[in-house]
Structure 1
Amino acid sequence: MLQRPKASEFPEYYVPYVNSVPEVDLLTLLKENLVKVTELFENISEVDAEFCYAPGKWSIKEVLGHMTDTERIMSYRLLRIGRGDQTALAGFDENDYVAGSKINRLPVKNILDDFIATRKATITLIENMPEEAWANIGFANNTEVTARAVAFIIAGHEIHHRRIINDKYIAAL
């Protein structure tokens, strides 16, 4: 079982994500949450998927696209850090990524399929990571972070946004 990272292993702004990950096996959680995300978004109509709960907020499609983009980027960071790459990795502006995706033009099923493929790739990356790689320290977005912390951030980020979808979007529909 992958050990929870210490607070010194990641920047403070990731604390809410890491803290939202329950004390369970991370791989099991990622697999179970893939099912939860799939079930959640399979039950959202095309009309509802374009809903924004407030002016200036993303649509449900945009949130799912953001979840996918972020997991893809964080998995890339996990790969690089896990392999011992010491190259500084750039940050990204999630608002620019959402705007650049033009994701509302896509059917929600396509966006969900992309998330599913990304999550499955994340799972195999974590399953095959050498044990000693989890303590590797890398540099991403101008901060130090361990491979172990990145894996927990990935899990926590999805939990965070799934909670928002349920609490702010689904509840308002």
Structure 2
Amino acid sequence: MLRKPETNEYPPYYKEYVNNVPDGELLQILEDQQKETMKLLNALSEETAEYKYAPGKWTIKEVIGHITDTERIMCYRLLSIGRGEQGMLPGYDDDEYVRRGNFNRFPLSDLLHHQALVRQHTILLLSSMDEEALCRRGNANGSEVTARAIAYIIAGHEIHHRRLIEDRYLSSGQ
């Protein structure tokens, strides 16, 4: 069973994400959270998916695009560090990625399909890595991190955004 990373395995700003992940088998958690997220979002109308809870905030479609893009980037980091990459992996500007992603032009079903495929890829990649690979350290966005921590960050990031969707978007009557 993959255990939670120690606090020295990731930068402090990821602590919330790692702490969001419940105890248990991470691969099963990733599968279960995918089902929960799909159940929550599949029922939304296109109109609801384009709702912003405040000016300057992302729409639900943009949040889904952000979750997917972030998981793609984190998966690349997981692969790179797990395979022993010693060069610094670049950061990214999530607001710029969302802006350039033009996610509101896509049907909600397409965004959810992309997200599901990316999650399947994450699970397959993670399940192929042994303990040695998962404990490797690398540098992403100027900070040292282990492959194992990245796996937990992926799971915690989705939990964070699903909670925001539930609390800030869907609880307002949308």
TM-score range, shorter chain: over 0.9
* Separation of aligned partners in 1, 2:11 and 2:110: 33
Which runs of structure 2 are paired with 1:129-168 in the superposition (5 Å)?
Answer: 129-168=129-168
* Unaligned residue ranges in structure 1 (runs of 5+): none
Secondary structure of 1:13 counterpart = helix
Which residues in structure 2 correspond to 1:83-162 (within 5 Å)? 83-162=83-162
Which residue of structure 2 aligns with residue 79 of structure 1?
A: 79
Q: What CA deviation, in whole Å up to 9, does each residue of 1:59-101 have, x standing for no partner? A: 0000000000000000000000001111110000100000000
Mark the runs of 5 or more structure 2 residues left unpaired by the alignment.
none
Report sequence identity in percent: 51
SS in structure 1 at match of 2:88: coil
Corresponding residue pairs, total: 173
Distance in 1 (CA, whole Å) between partners of 2:112 and 2:86 is 33
Determine the structure 1 residue equivalent to 2:55.
55
What SS does the corresponding residue of 1:37 show, helix, strand or coil? helix
* Runs ≥4 residues deviating over 6 A: none
Deviations 1:115-156 (A, max 9, x none): 000000000001111221111000000000000100000000
Task: Give the equivalent residue in structure 2 for 1:70.
Answer: 70
Which amino acid in structure 1 is aligned with residue 103 of structure 2?
I
Q: Aligned partners of 2:137, 2:145: CA distance in 1, in Å?
A: 6
Match of 1:170 in 2: 170
Question: What is the identity, as a one-letter code, of the residue corresponding to 2:142?
Answer: N
TM-score by length of 1: 0.99
Query: What CA RMSD, in Å, does the superposition of the two structures yield over aligned residues?
Result: 0.5
- 1:32-80, CA deviations, whole angstroms, 9 ceiling, x for partnerless residues? 0110111111011000000000110000000000000000000000000
